[in-house]
Chains A and B, each alone.
Chain A
Amino acid sequence: MNNILVLPMLLPIIVGVLLIFLRTYGRIQAWISIAAMVVTAGISIYLLHTVQADGILRLDFGGWEPPFGILFVADSFSVLLVLTSSIVTAVCLSYALISTSKELQTMYFYPTVLFLAAGVNGSFLTGDLFNLFVCFEVMLLSSYVLLTLGNSKRQLREAIKYVSINIVSSWFFLVALAFLYGTLGTLNMAHAAERVAEVGQTPLLTTISLVFLVVFSLKAGLLLYFWLPGSYSSPPIVTSALFGALLTKVGVYALFRIFSLIFYHQPEITHTIIGIMAGLTLIGGSLGAIAFNDIRSIAAYNVVIAVGFMLVGLAIATPEAIEGSIYYLIHDMVAKALLFLLVGTMITLSGSSKMAGMSGLMKNYPLLGWSFFIAMLSLAGIPPLSGFIGKVLISSAAIDSGSYVLLALALLSSIFVLYSLLRVFKNCFWGETIVSKEEQLPLRRGVLLPCLVLVFLTIGIGLGVEGLSLYVTDAAKTLLNPGTYINAVLGIIQ
């Protein structure tokens, strides 16, 4: 019974379509969509256990056996990401329920978020490159809509840039697919991997892989992140949180999948380029994070730094490094959503997104302050929070493989993360309280609840690493042994 594999994509789509008919009932929509995402998370937990017990699962649509049909493949890596993204989406939806305006809630916000989740989950699960493109487009079209919902001038302006850049990168994706099909005659990932392994990774194939690298780097914000800070800092904060937590991670996932499954035969070219790009991303992101006074821009540049950090793991590509990257990927989804939600709450409370406009929030809203403190420590990688384990593993792998430049950049970037957020913490939470107790805006009831869920998640992941390690080790093992994946897909169906 592998049919359950389609549910993480199908369920959000069906529920999303149904919600369109409930347009005027904002709260009901919210509850239904939260329920849908929780169910999806439950399904992915079940899938995760099944994958451990029975090995990699696959679902051939329409009974067309690979390599002829489109299929979904679930290994530990993809299911872990589906699980995390579903949980984060559910939390963001509950924040939307509590905090956003009624106007936004009734403008198809929830269905669009569900379509976004469907696209994200589909991208994680698919085993076919063209299907990956389609899932990317589902996700991107939803993100275009989400980016423009709210209708402020700034959003429209940023949306034009965001949509244009994504159309161009989707075009590159299609070009790469066309060339790959022309060269290999297949678009099934496992089949392509097998054929590349058979004929060897010729210069032509390496060039095609570099086109893929450009495409996914654009989506992930690896070096080509110039579009990211603007578009991630203009929409309503829930949307920013979803974007920051999910969108770039899909690009990172695709990079990991492509360069560990198909194009891993010439690491001296591809992985070196990834390493250089990751290093430059770390530098650029760090400079951006300390350059701005707008706390949303600071948060957006933190997304960039994290992408660079994860790709350092891929560039090193030892088992330890890959494990570290997977831990960091999971951690970053949770922590970035938390950071954006907290930043959004701070902006709502103080009415300004500039650091100069807020001061001494700690006195009025201690819980908010300490949540931000924990988010900051988690992002900087202080034990026992969730960012720690990924940073340790990647750093020690960098030492083992002698990549000292990447190690230095990765560790320096952590200091920049800490510094940039500490600056926010110091300026916004400490210092003279501008508003008196009487004048302060009341914190809307329950608005911190989603943030607290994420705080507990980041602490929980940090303390419960033992429980996760089983799955992460398996995920890293599958990524580094493409044979397992290929056999599971192309082997005879049981």
Chain B
Amino acid sequence: MESLIIILVGVLTTVAIYLVLSKNVVRVILGTAILSHAVHLLILAMGGLKQGTVPLLGEEAEIYVDALPQALILTAIVISFAVTAFILVLAYRAYQELETDNLGAMRGSDDE
């Protein structure tokens, strides 16, 4: 199961890198969103999968899942949510002001 997830992480990262390297701002943003999904899955896999139970350690629990990765992912999701929201608004404002969503055209010159 872990190997499968790791391959999935690899595929997601590949897709994300392809998107991030394109010139369109929106595609870059989508790329960063997929990047964050990939790393969340990676953290989940690092905690160990397929133990078949909940991350709660009762008094007589025999098996339980490591709760820490889930807490980390939750935090990371919230953060990436905020950052994605911010960069979407930023991209929209930049599109309004600069009248382009092409990163190649955003190189700019020094004399502005």
Residues of A within 8 A of B (CB): 130, 133-134, 137, 141, 144-145, 148, 151, 153-154, 156-157, 159-161, 163-164, 167-168, 170-171, 174-175, 177-179, 181-182, 187, 294
Q: Can you pick out 10 interface pairs between chain A and chain B where the beta carbons lie within 8 Å of each other? A: A137-B83, A154-B108, A156-B93, A157-B106, A159-B90, A160-B25, A163-B87, A168-B32, A174-B36, A178-B42
Contact B98 A157 (CB under 8 A): yes
Chain B residues lying within 8 Å of A134, measured Cβ to Cβ, are: 75, 79
CB < 8 Å: which of A137, A164, A170, A178 contacts B43?
A178
State the CA gap A391–B46 with chains docked (Å): 44
- Binary flags per residue of B16-47, CB closer than 8 Å to A gives 1, else 0: 00001000010010001001100100110011
Contact A137 B79 (CB under 8 A): yes
Contact B98 A164 (CB under 8 A): no
Interface size on B, residues (CB 8 A): 32
User: How near does chain A come to B101, taking the closest CB pair, in angstroms?
Assistant: 10
Contact A177 B86 (CB under 8 A): no
CB < 8 Å: which of B39, B83, B97, B106 contacts A175?
B39
Chain B residues lying within 8 Å of A156, measured Cβ to Cβ, are: 90, 93-94, 97-98
Residues of B within 8 A of A (CB): 20, 25, 28, 32, 35-36, 39, 42-43, 46-47, 68-69, 72, 75-76, 79, 82-83, 86-87, 90-91, 93-94, 97-98, 103, 106, 108, 110, 112
Nearest 4 A/B pairs, CB to CB: A182-B46, A156-B94, A174-B39, A178-B43
User: How near does chain A come to B44, taking the closest CB pair, in angstroms?
Assistant: 9
A167 and B97 in contact (CB under 8 A), knowing A174-B39, A177-B43, A179-B46?
Answer: no
Select the residue from B20, B90, B94, B108 with max chain A CB neighbours within 10 A.
B90
Interface of A is mostly: helix
State the CA gap A170–B77 with chains docked (Å): 12
User: How near does chain B come to A117, taking the closest CB pair, in angstroms?
Assistant: 19
Chain A residues lying within 8 Å of B35, measured Cβ to Cβ, are: 167-168, 171
User: How near does chain B come to A196, taking the closest CB pair, in angstroms?
Assistant: 17
Give me 19 other A-B pairs in contact (C-beta within 8 A), A178-B42, A181-B46 excluded. Answer: A134-B79, A141-B86, A144-B83, A153-B98, A154-B112, A156-B90, A157-B94, A157-B98, A160-B90, A163-B83, A164-B87, A167-B32, A168-B35, A174-B76, A177-B43, A177-B72, A181-B47, A187-B68, A294-B110
User: How near does chain A come to B71, taking the closest CB pair, in angstroms?
Assistant: 9
Chain A residues lying within 8 Å of B86, measured Cβ to Cβ, are: 141, 144-145, 163
State the CA gap A168–B16 with chains docked (Å): 11
State the CA gap A151–B35 with chains docked (Å): 28
Select the residue from A141, A156, A174, A179 with max chain B CB neighbours within 10 A.
A174
Nearest to A233 among chain B residues (CB) is B110
Chain B residues lying within 8 Å of A294, measured Cβ to Cβ, are: 110
Chain B residues lying within 8 Å of A167, measured Cβ to Cβ, are: 32, 35, 83, 87
State the CA gap A160–B32 with chains docked (Å): 13
User: How near does chain B come to A353, taking the closest CB pair, in angstroms?
Assistant: 9
Contact A171 B39 (CB under 8 A): yes
CB < 8 Å: which of A133, A163, A171, A178 contacts B46?
A178
A141 and B83 in contact (CB under 8 A), knowing A153-B97, A164-B28?
Answer: yes
Nearest to A137 among chain B residues (CB) is B79
Contact A175 B90 (CB under 8 A): no
State the CA gap A202–B32 with chains docked (Å): 31
CB < 8 Å: which of A144, A148, A160, A177 contacts B106?
A160
State the CA gap A177–B76 with chains docked (Å): 11
State the CA gap A161–B104 with chains docked (Å): 11
CB < 8 Å: which of A148, A179, A187 contacts B90?
A148
Chain B residues lying within 8 Å of A164, measured Cβ to Cβ, are: 20, 28, 32, 87
Contact B90 A181 (CB under 8 A): no
A130 and B94 in contact (CB under 8 A), knowing A171-B35, A171-B36?
Answer: no
Nearest to A131 among chain B residues (CB) is B75
Chain A residues lying within 8 Å of B83, measured Cβ to Cβ, are: 137, 141, 144, 163, 167, 170
Chain B residues lying within 8 Å of A151, measured Cβ to Cβ, are: 93, 97
